[in-house]
Amino acid sequence: MEGIRVPTFSAIQTQPASYNRLLLLTAGLGGLLYGIDVGIIAGALPYLEATSGLTAGQISFVVAAVLLGTVISTLFAGLLADQLGRKWLMILSGLLFAASIPVIALSHGFGMLVLGRLCQGISAGLIGVVVPLYLAECLLPDKRGRGTAMFQFFLTVGIVAAAAVGMYFSLRVEEVARQGNAQLLFAFQDRAWRGIFWVSLPPGLLFILGSFMLAESPRWHFRRGHPQRALASLLRSRAPEQARMELEEMQQNATAERQRLPRRRVAESLLQRKYVIPFLLACAILGLNQTTGINSIIGYNTAILIQSGLSDVQAHWGYILFTAINALATVVGMLLVDRKGRKFLLSIGTAGIVVSLLFTAWLFTRTERRRVDVRAQVQALAGNSGRLQFRFTPALQQQWLERTGHPRLAAQPAALTVIYAYGGFSASTPVVRSNHPQSALVTLQRSSCVPPNGVLADFSNPFASLQRARTAPLRIQHALVTPLPSPRIGWLVALSLYLFVAFYAAGPGICVWLALSELMPTRIRSNGMSIALLINEAISTFIAAIFLPTVGHYGYAFMFFAFAGFTVLYFITVTFFFPETKGKTLEEIEAFFSVRNTPAAGQGAGS
């Protein structure tokens, strides 16, 4: 801004290197909390189901409460970041996370569990917007890529940590189960799920402490009309000359915008190319990032590996390795993002994702083309009752396959998935295997299918009648028996998924946060990030909702082919439309998108 007095640098003492390490560590802890929010429930869920006394519908709501809280907070995160400031919103998100842990771990009922999980979701939604936003506005241009990648790296570490904690408690529970004391086992399972949540409290407290020690974003100070505070904030993390240069760029951009639009309304100015194009591009990148299938592949990884031919134990260890590769590949991306650039990593990453998804789909095609639908046999077993429970044994498998004219498949172990419905609401059973009769219990019940209230019913199927579904008979839509491939095929599927997550983590996994925070101009950055991230979460929710029903109807191969097709669009978008932002200040990136909107210096409007 004109007339701003830049304070002298001699009076300001800074230690940029130490401060930048603190900044990156605190941002990393934010990513860790986000990853814990995503992954912690997977390890706790089996013990919560066994000891809480909640119905299947209530358990589903507890799991989904995080997603609901994330969507709500993401919607308002940009507005809050502008009103409170980036620093104080980070502190607030940490406080919400820390408060959620005792609420959950000390709860003895449905209401407190939901409240705690909602707080976790609200915290995750705020962190997902404000931490990348803060990093983009505070880091040096040549450090911004690696710094923002730190958030993603710790996010993956959070997922790995959640999986490792879950595995630890799983092994402990198994030891107690061998003693054969049901009362002791129940008590230990109750302590197990509470302990899993307690373990995640220290990172939340450290994140709050680190956030208190950080300076406010210089861009936020400048937009609020405090250039001296903006300069002081810049000097915490960079040399005086660099700080002066960036402050001058902010001033020049603000002056140019006032001169260019002296009489236009604000609403009109937001329709400029410099705002619309980067906003739409960021939304496209965020949306396409989810259509790679990353969240569903993470969430259903164990089930996918079991269906591909691995045993239960092999599949769980395979998932641990999957999360570890995710974290290690993120480190590779961190080392390359400021050297090779965002566009390079996105292009290579999406190309590798397409190849690995196609290979995974091809492997499943070989197995799923032999699957048999025994819907009539399961419907006959259910009769007119509203509930069905049975064990999928080798004898039952042989009986059904012989009746459907496929006796040769009866000698080979198979997996069963049942798609069933009450009225307009449908659900899918977990995959069970005939060669594990002790764990192959299949339960079809109304509480696992019909939403417990109207709000969830509208989310599940807005066209279905909840009242009618509560009394509708059990209807079997599909009962798919799929011959199990050999473990060799299972490990090939695991390898293809490892390649998938490695390409994702080193490319889109890191660069998506940079696209979210770097592309948008300062004036719309916070609210634009909220909208783009909300689109990301909406697509993720939609894919999660249709994943199991789609797999049940068409198979994993169809789903992976669909993910590959969308990733081809992702590759085209980043290759032909995404600008390279490596080494550029936020003001230089903003100028790139506005260059065609204004005449060049010294030229007339018609030149």
Q: Which residues touch 133 (CB under 8 Å, ≥6 apart)?
A: 81, 86, 217, 517, 525, 526, 529
Give the pLDDT confidence score for residue 139 in this predicted structure.
Answer: 80
Q: How far apart are CA 191 and CA 202, in angstroms?
A: 18
Instruction: Render 207-271 in DSSP notation, one character per residue.
Output: HHHHHHTSPPPHHHHHHTT-HHHHHHHHHTTS-HHHHHHHHHHHHHHHHHHHHHSSSS-HHHHTT
DSSP calls for 566-582: HHHHHHHHHHHTPPP-T
**What does the pLDDT read at residue 240?**
86
What does the CA dihedral 592, 593, 598, 603 come to, rounded to 10 degrees?
30
Distance from C-alpha of 514 to C-alpha of 149, rounded to nearest angstrom: 8
What secondary structure letter does DSSP report for 410? Answer: G
Continuous segment of H or E residues that includes residue 340: none
Phi, psi of 421 (to 5 degrees): -150, 150
Quick: pLDDT tens for 469-515.
Answer: 889 999 998 888 888 888 888 899 999 999 999 999 999 988 887 77
The whole-number pLDDT of residue 602 equals 37
Average pLDDT over residues 562-590: 86
Residue ranges of domains in the chain, CATH in brackets: 14-216 (1.20.1250.20), 267-595 (1.20.1250.20)
Judged by average pLDDT, the poorest of 74-88, 322-336, 366-380, 592-606 is 592-606
Q: How confident is the model at residue 11 (pLDDT cuts 50, 70, 90)?
A: very low
Cβ neighbors of 4 (< 8 A, separation 6 or more) are 227, 251
Pairwise CA distance, residues 513 & 133, whole Å: 9
Residue 155 CA to its chain's centroid (Å):
10
Which of 250-264, 535-549, 592-606 bottoms out in mean pLDDT, i.e. has the lowest? 592-606
For residue range 180-237, what is the model confidence (pLDDT) as tens digits? 787 888 888 888 888 888 988 998 899 999 999 988 888 888 888 888 888 888 888 8
pLDDT of residue 92: 94
Distance CA 63, CA 94 (A): 20
Average pLDDT of span 585-600: 63
Confidence at residue 607, expressed as pLDDT on a 0 to 100 scale: 29
Q: In this structure, are residues 487 and 106 in contact, taking their beta carbons and an 8 Å threshold?
A: no
Question: 390 pairs with which residues across the strands?
Answer: 442
Mean per-residue pLDDT, 377-398: 88
The predicted pLDDT at position 604 comes to 35
Within 10 angstroms of residue 268's Cβ, the number of other Cβ atoms is: 10
Q: State how far the Cα of 543 lies from the Cα of 113, in Å rounded to an integer.
A: 25
The reported pLDDT for the residue numbered 6 is 45
Q: In the predicted model, what is the mean pLDDT of residues 295-299?
A: 80
3-state DSSP call for residue 527? helix
Please tell me which of 160-164, 416-420, 562-566 the model is most confident about, judged by mean pLDDT.
Answer: 562-566
pLDDT of residue 325: 92
pLDDT at 595 over 70: no
Using only C-alpha atoms, the chain has a radius of gyration, in whole angstroms, of 26
Tell whether the model's pLDDT for residue 263 goes beyond 70: no
Mean pLDDT, residues 276-291 taken together: 87
How many angstroms from the chain centroid is the CA of residue 585?
28
Using CA atoms, how far apart are residues 79 and 265, in angstroms rounded to an integer? 20
At residue 598, the pLDDT reads: 45
Give the pLDDT score at 353.
Answer: 96
Between residues 113 and 338, the one the model is more confident about: 113
Q: For residue range 509-560, what is the model confidence (pLDDT) as tens digits?
A: 888 877 777 777 767 777 777 788 788 878 887 887 677 778 777 888 999 9
In which band, very low, low, confident or very high, does the pLDDT at 55 lie, cut at 50, 70 and 90? low
pLDDT value at 378 more than 80:
yes
Strand-strand pairing, 414-422 and 474-483: antiparallel
Can you read off the two tokens belonging to residue 109? 């009922």
Dihedral of alpha carbons 21, 27, 32, 33, sign: positive
What does the CA dihedral 122, 128, 132, 133 come to, rounded to 10 degrees?
A: -50
Residues 62-79 have a mean pLDDT of: 81
The mean pLDDT of the chain is 81
Could you give the percent of the chain with pLDDT greater than 90?
A: 17
pLDDT at 267 over 50: no
Phi and psi at 480, nearest 5°, equal -100, 115
Instruction: Tell me the three-class secondary structure of 272-337, residue by residue.
Output: CHHHHHHHHHHHHHHHHHHCCCHHHHHHCHHHHHHHCCCCHHHHHHHHHHHHHHHHHHHHHHHHHH
Residue 107 has pLDDT above 80, yes or no: yes
Q: Which of 352-366, 400-414, 484-498 has the lowest mean pLDDT?
A: 400-414
- Residue 600's pLDDT is 40
- The model's confidence at residue 96, banded by pLDDT at 50, 70 and 90, is very high
CA atoms of 108 and 326, how far apart (whole Å): 35
**pLDDT tens track for 146-168:** 777 788 788 888 888 887 887 78
Residue 329, token pair as written in the block: 């590949």
**Helix segments in 341-409, DSSP class H:** 342-368, 375-382, 394-403
State the pLDDT confidence band at 351, using cuts at 50, 70 and 90.
very high
User: 77: how many CB neighbours lie within 10 A of its CB?
Assistant: 27
To the nearest whole percent, how much of the chain has pLDDT over 70? Answer: 89
Residues 526 and 282: beta-carbon distance below 8 Å: no
Between residues 412 and 332, the one the model is more confident about: 332
Q: What is the predicted pLDDT for the residue at 606? A: 36
Beta-strand pair 432-433/414-422: antiparallel
DSSP string, 84-146: H-HHHHHHHHHHHHHHHHHHHHT--SHHHHHHHHHHHHHHHHHHHHHHHHHHHHHS-TTTHHH
Average pLDDT over residues 49-55: 74
